[in-house]
Amino acid sequence: EVQLVESGGGSVQAGGSLTLSCTASGFYLDAAGATWYRQSPGSECELVSAIHSDYTTYYTESVKGRSTISLDSAKNAVYLQMSSLKPDDTAVYYCAVNQEWPPPTSTVCRDVGYWGQGTQVTVSS
């Protein structure tokens, strides 16, 4: 059984930093890579950052320069380091195994494929 478990979310002040983790079991993340999506109430599920199995990365424009995605094959985990956080970054963050490259920039969270349960990030001003 494939399972993805996110952690690292929390409440921070604007300008703060967080590192989100996504640990997999039942599947090797370096076989396909993974994508971080986020969704806030009333908004679509949007791509934040993605990493391919060849370690190519992608960032949505709003997080470029503030975020770093990485894949640790030894730990079978994907990380998203975020800094200079803004209130607009507030959302539930999900990781998902890549099904295509590049991954879709918007989708239905947790609809198709392997997804984690999500971790809440709240940024206050």
What would the pLDDT profile of 4-54 be if each residue is shown by its tens digit?
A: 999 999 999 999 999 999 999 999 999 999 999 999 999 999 999 999 999
Q: What is the pLDDT of residue 50?
A: 98
Task: Please name the residue that has the structure tokens 């995605």.
Answer: 69
Which whole number is the average pLDDT over 62-89? 98
Q: What is the mean pLDDT of residues 75-89?
A: 98
pLDDT, position 69: 98
pLDDT band for position 74 (50/70/90)?
A: very high
Residue 83 three-state SS: coil
